[in-house]
């Protein structure tokens, strides 16, 4: 397992723990755990959580693992690209108390498969999925049209800071 960690520095900011839990040698889709930890930390900072003790876990998993999670927790079938499991709502946790935002699971092989028709390329798709998952942890949703519009606007704003465009 490849693991990365961003402890938020001395500011007491976000702690991001990233695990590449895929079978070794089972995929040719690279995952730079430090890059994705930094992206999560940047999104959290931009969302106003840079000075709070916040923890997020980001997991990169195989299709079989995300398919199991999708079936068990979402009632879905088949592998999906990203799943988020929020734990604490930061607005409900008093300042100074650590916030466990939750877990985001991303499947790089699904991302690679859908990238050409979705975000354009693998790196853009992975960025979109990581941002999407973090926004879910922060309470964003896309069940209703207005919610989806607001969430996609935030995704576009985050991606634009890296020169990427969300289609």
Q: In the chain, which ranges are E strands?
A: 2-6, 15-20, 54-60, 82-86, 99-106
pLDDT at 5 (0 to 100)? 59
Between CA 164 and CA 66 the distance in angstroms is: 26
Topology of domain 2-160, CATH: Collagenase (Catalytic Domain) (3.40.390)
Between CA 132 and CA 113 the distance in angstroms is: 18
* Spans of all domains in the chain: 2-160
Q: Are 117 and 133 in contact (CB under 8 A)?
A: no
Token pair for 133: 């998952």
Given a cut of 50, the residues of the chain with pLDDT beneath it are 9-10
pLDDT at 118 (0 to 100)? 83
pLDDT at 1 (0 to 100)? 55
pLDDT at 103 (0 to 100)? 98
pLDDT at 148 (0 to 100)? 92
pLDDT at 143 (0 to 100)? 87
pLDDT tens for 121-164 read 899 999 999 999 999 999 999 989 999 999 999 999 999 988 87
Q: Are 104 and 66 in contact (CB under 8 A)?
A: no
Token pair for 109: 């092989």
């Amino acid at each position: 397992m490849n693991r990365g960690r961003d402890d938020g520095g001395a500011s007491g900011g976000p702690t991001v723990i990233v695990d590449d839990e895929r079978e070794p040698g089972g995929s040719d889709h690279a995952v730079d755990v430090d890059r994705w930890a930094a992206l999560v930390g940047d999104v959290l900072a931009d969302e106003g959580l840079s000075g709070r003790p916040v923890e997020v876990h980001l997991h990169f998993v195989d299709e079989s693992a995300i398919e199991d999670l999708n079936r068990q927790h979402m009632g879905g079938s088949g592998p999906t690209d990203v799943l988020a499991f929020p734990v604490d709502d930061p607005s409900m946790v008093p300042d100074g108390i650590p916030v466990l935002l939750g877990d985001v699971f991303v499947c790089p092989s699904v991302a690679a498969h859908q990238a050409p028709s979705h975000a354009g390329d693998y790196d853009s798709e992975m960025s979109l999925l990581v941002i999407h998952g973090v926004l879910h942890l922060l309470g964003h949703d896309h069940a209703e049209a207005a919610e989806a519009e607001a969430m996609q606007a935030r995704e576009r704003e985050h991606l634009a800071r890296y020169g990427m465009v969300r289609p």
